[in-house]
Amino acid sequence: MVQRFLAILLILAGLGGIGFGVATATVLRESDTVVATATPSGDGTMVVTEPGVLGLVDDQVTVRATVPEGQKVTLALGSDVDVLGWVGDDPFDSVTGLSSWETLSVAPGTAAAPEEEAAEGEETDEAPAEKPSTGPDPAGSDMWISEVSGETTVSMRWTEQPGRVVLLAAGVGKNAEAPTLELTWPRQASTPYLWPGVLGGALLLILGVFMAIGARRSAKRSAGKGRSPSAVRTRQPDPDLPRRDAAFGIDGEGSSPAGHEPAVGFPPALGDPAEGGTAVYPPVRPELPGRDRPELRPVQSPVQSPVQSPMPRPEPDLTEPEHTRSWGAPAPFGGAAPITPPPVPEQAPEPVAAPVASVRGIRRRRGQAPGAAPAAGAQPPAQRTPFGGTAPEQGPAPSETPSAAQADQADPAASAASGRPMTRRELRMREQAQRRAATGAMPAVPAAEPEPEPEAEQPQTPSSRAAAWRQTWGVTGNDGGN
Amino acid sequence: MRRTTTRATAVVATVLATGLLTGCAEELPTPKPEAPVAAAVVTQSQEREILDKVAGVVGEVTKAKDAEKLEPRLSGPALDIRETQLKVADARGDTEPLTDLTMEMQQVILPSDQEWPRSSFAITVQPKDLTTPVLMSFDQATARDQYKLWGWVRLLPGVTMPQFAEAELGSPAVPPDDESLKVTPTDAIKQYASALTVDKDSKYADSFADDDLRQFFRDYGKLQVDAINKEECRGAFKVEYEPTKDPVKAVRTADGGALVMAAMISQETITAREEGCEIGPPTKTTQALWGDTDVTNVVEVNYKDMVAMYVPPKDSDDEISLVGYEHVPSSVSNG
């Protein structure tokens, strides 16, 4: 249940992540422009930008000035000296920069240095310099680099050039007001969430899908059964021993074919506790060896049914033990490891990926156990040993460690596939998982063996590591499912 | 189970954290203005536009003969002289009196001062009529004024212009009372007026290199006097120069001297001192201006003048030298 819940959660989170990532690059994408507005303070009829403001965000700027309907407005570009000289002693607003991405900071302008000369001229030219009832029109001056005049709203484009070019915007005519300035710059709209969102989401999604598949498998087995694996676990404080035995039994199977015996002998033991959790075990164990000895099944099922008859649902028990074993086993395995010879080398990889290793351990053991195909079966241990040694010893080559881990994952899968007859579906799943784990490097690497070089690049990407992890999960699920 | 959940949570947290952090990283930019650099306050392209505008006005007025339209782009002595030329040209019925003001420039001398008034100078290429190039001066009185043609002179044939700073850098203006020169620009004009008026008798004569203008008056005066004396009328010739009240414009040259430009007025008086002799206007232009005026023994011709001279720096051994002048008859009278 928890697994399914987590799977759904992951899928939802994954979809959400992808959706969010895509949305930030499309719907929620920041606009390609920065539009900032300057609202004049009300003094004077002119607004002047400070040097550097026009090129604040980008060299390309579009300026738009708006005055009340029907009034005339002029935009002019010139050097700061020229513009301030032109403005002279008249009050004006100075645009000093951005106060936010949407707002330009405006401050009362300070008169230019050469104001005295300018003032002299103004006094002769325009008597009402102090309180301009009429907004002077800068249009047509020789000093402007560029200018535009119009009614109500005018705009102009400017590509920033070397020099101290500033903008003069002036409301013109009687009762003129300082125009409202709007500067628009193009901007490289970055989409910082796109790839993290999509990749992270995809990761979660795939993770969730695998978990869901795993959950479904187990759910099929345990269809109708109300108990959750965790419930089983918690109920097993007492039958802990038998359970561990069961685990050992598996190990025993793995290490030696003789291990089947205790397994077969278990049913009575299970029967004793009469608890659902323990009763679960028999069906599974028989199942694995069941391939070898199909005759066990009929024997067990009768045993089971009496045990389970008190329970409302007989079937779930079949799967449940698997569950407990496949998921629950790792914990006991940690403790069991020292007892059984094979786990010892396996503990070495654990530091590489602790949670994975324990899960993997089961598989490997199982893969070994059947030994149906000696050649295939021989391989995994051979590799494992080097791997076990590789992880701690080959410190200098860190890139190899994950690669080895990957190869390792592929191996148990392969060995399991070859070692034990598997359903087609299972095979397919494994292949898929393997392929996914290896991703692009797959064609380059024909066999899983030559780990070090070609695969060295892959493990570095988190996705491949995650894929490996995923694979492990998926495979385990499959294992348990069968 | 627990481990995987933790891991998944960690992955999600990492992804979200990375995304959020990268998203919030952008900071508000602050203006980074370039430092002010020493450069001409008028760029060459701006100057070109100014020249085109002024030349356009001049050209239109020349065609339409509507002198009032000169005002937007001509000021000071230039306006005065051009109006005179137009009047004279109108009286003569041709365009000969009009100085060619085609503004195709071989050199521009741009202002570097940020204050107003600003002045720029420019030297035209050789005009098509094979007269000498013209040195023009433009003036922007205040920031809200336009650049206007303020004055011009025709350069003397074969004159060597002083060196100026690069047009991009601009040349600073020299105040009329600048002390770093051999004489201040204002004084230079006054003294030159004296030298023109009394020639070698001027106490300033030694400060000035002899030049074409003074030589012209010598030759011209001699010509007139000789002509009158032929009739035994005892001719006399006199020329008087006087600076106008217009300001003197001066711009620094590369060697620390200055190019000084100023307007003057002058009057030449030709007299037949012998009783009963009558003389008329001497030149085609003065004849046109003369009209129906009665002929007496005196001819007074008033001129509007413009002179440009090079004033060397104080410690220089060079003399002040004329580089160009304009001498436009404006009116004639019988004394």
* H or E element at residue B159: none
Write out the two tokens for B185: 């620009």
Nearest to B142 among A79, A118, A162 (CB): A118
B134 in Cβ contact with B152 (< 8 Å): yes
Q: For residues A420 and B107, which has the higher predicted lDDT (pLDDT)?
A: B107
Task: Give pLDDT, residue A69.
Answer: 87
Q: Is the pLDDT of residue B120 over 80?
A: yes
Alpha helix positions (H), B181-244: 185-198, 212-230
CA distance B274 to B261: 40
Alpha carbon dihedral A56, A58, A59, A60, in 10-degree steps, equals: -120
- Taking CA–CA distances from A52, the nearest residue in chain B reads B33
* H or E element at residue A21: helix A2-25
Angle between helices A296-308 and A316-323 (to 10 degrees): 100
Check CB contact under 8 Å for B143 and A13.
Answer: no
Check CB contact under 8 Å for B141 and A121.
Answer: yes
- Sequence ranges of the domains in chain B: 44-333
Task: Give pLDDT, residue B19.
Answer: 57
Is residue B180 classed as helix, strand or coil in its secondary structure? Answer: coil
A416-440 burial by CB neighbour count: b if 16+ within 10 A, else e? Answer: bbbbbebeeebeebbeebbebbbee
Nearest to A200 among B11, B53, B144 (CB): B11
Selected residue of B24, B54, B108, B115 to mutate for chain A interface (largest A Cβ count, 10 A):
B115
DSSP letter at B199? G
Residues pairing with A182 in the sheet: A37, A64
Residues of B in contact with A162 (CB under 8 A): 34
- Interface check for B53 against chain A (CB to CB < 8 A): the answer is yes
Q: What's the average model confidence in pLDDT over B156-165? A: 93
Check CB contact under 8 Å for B31 and A125.
Answer: no
CA distance B25 to B210: 75
Q: What's the average model confidence in pLDDT over B134-159? A: 94
Check CB contact under 8 Å for A50 and B33.
Answer: yes
CA distance B221 to B211: 16
| CB proximity under 8 Å: B 142-171 to A | 142-147
Q: For residues B266 and A29, which has the higher predicted lDDT (pLDDT)?
A: B266
Q: Is the pLDDT of residue B146 over 90?
A: yes
Taking Cα atoms as reference points, which of B321, B235, B224 lies closest to residue B282? Answer: B224
Is residue B266 classed as helix, strand or coil in its secondary structure? Answer: strand
A279 in Cβ contact with A308 (< 8 Å): yes
| CB proximity under 8 Å: A 135-164 to B | 136, 138, 140-143, 145, 162-164
pLDDT per position as a tens digit, A350-381 = 444 434 443 443 444 444 444 444 444 444 44
Q: For residues A470 and B233, which has the higher predicted lDDT (pLDDT)?
A: B233
Angle between helices A354-368 and B2-23 (to 10 degrees): 140
Taking Cα atoms as reference points, which of A384, A350, A391, A345 lies closest to residue A367? Answer: A384
Q: Is the pLDDT of residue B261 over 90?
A: yes
- My answer on whether omega of the bond before A262 falls inside 30° of 0, hence cis, is no
Find the range with the poorest average confidence among A337-341, A457-461, B154-158, B329-333. A337-341
Task: Give pLDDT, residue A420.
Answer: 59
Rounded to a whole number, what is the distance in Å from the CA of B119 to chain A's nearest CA?
13
Task: Give pLDDT, residue B3.
Answer: 59
DSSP letter at B132? P
Q: For residues B251 and A249, which has the higher predicted lDDT (pLDDT)?
A: B251
Check CB contact under 8 Å for A121 and B11.
Answer: no
Residue with tokens 């569950």: A323
CA distance A268 to A54: 88
CA distances from A357 to A354, A380, B190 (A): 5, 15, 106
Write out the two tokens for B330: 């404006």
Write out the two tokens for A374: 């000696």
Find the range with the poorest average confidence among A453-457, B67-71, B273-277. A453-457
A316 in Cβ contact with A223 (< 8 Å): yes
Check CB contact under 8 Å for B147 and A142.
Answer: yes
Check CB contact under 8 Å for B8 and A85.
Answer: no
Find the range with the poorest average confidence among A330-344, B61-75, B170-184. A330-344
DSSP string, B67-115: GGGGTTTB-HHHHHHHHHHHHHHHHHTSSTTS------EEEEE-B---S
Length of chain B: 335
Burial class, B24, CB count within 10 angstroms (exposed 0-12 / middle 13-18 / buried 19+): exposed
CA distance A23 to B209: 84
- Interface check for A351 against chain B (CB to CB < 8 A): the answer is no
- Interface check for A345 against chain B (CB to CB < 8 A): the answer is no
- Taking CA–CA distances from B26, the nearest residue in chain A reads A190
Write out the two tokens for A273: 């506790």
Residues pairing with B320 in the sheet: B208
Write out the two tokens for A241: 């021993």
- Sequence ranges of the domains in chain A: 1-29+191-221, 33-186, 230-337, 342-482
Q: Which residues contact B150 (CB under 8 A, 6 or more apart)?
A: B74, B75, B76, B77, B78, B119, B137, B138, B139, B249
Nearest to A82 among B4, B143, B146 (CB): B143
CA distance B302 to B80: 13
Mean pLDDT of the residues in chain B? 89
* H or E element at residue A153: strand A153-159
Write out the two tokens for A82: 């020229």
Task: Give pLDDT, residue B38.
Answer: 84
CA distance A265 to A253: 13
Taking Cα atoms as reference points, which of B189, B320, B165, B138 lies closest to residue B252? Answer: B165
Q: Is the pLDDT of residue B243 over 70?
A: yes
What is the block-wise mean pLDDT of chain A (482 residues), using blocks of 10 residues?
82 88 80 84 85 88 90 91 90 89 85 43 40 79 90 89 88 87 84 84 89 81 57 46 46 43 44 44 45 45 44 45 44 43 45 41 43 42 43 42 44 48 75 64 46 46 62 54 44
Complex ipTM > 0.90: no
Taking Cα atoms as reference points, which of A140, A146, A147, A78 lies closest to residue A112? Answer: A78
Q: For residues B178 and B29, which has the higher predicted lDDT (pLDDT)?
A: B178
Q: Which residues contact B191 (CB under 8 A, 6 or more apart)?
A: B183, B202, B204, B207, B208, B320
Q: Is the pLDDT of residue B180 over 60?
A: yes
Alpha helix positions (H), A98-190: 115-125
pLDDT band at B218 (very low <50, low <70, confident <90, very high): very high
Selected residue of A8, A106, A122, A142 to mutate for chain B interface (largest B Cβ count, 10 A):
A142
CA distance A390 to B163: 83
| CB proximity under 8 Å: B 85-124 to A | 114-117
Q: For residues B75 and A225, which has the higher predicted lDDT (pLDDT)?
A: B75
Check CB contact under 8 Å for A121 and B116.
Answer: yes
A43-71 burial by CB neighbour count: b if 16+ within 10 A, else e? Answer: ebbbbbbbbbbbbbbbeebebbbbbeeeb
Q: For residues A282 and B146, which has the higher predicted lDDT (pLDDT)?
A: B146
Alpha helix positions (H), chain B: 2-23, 44-64, 76-92, 185-198, 212-230, 284-290
Residues of B in contact with A102 (CB under 8 A): none
Rounded to a whole number, what is the distance in Å from the CA of B67 to chain A's nearest CA?
22
Write out the two tokens for B43: 């760029």
CA distance A123 to A134: 14
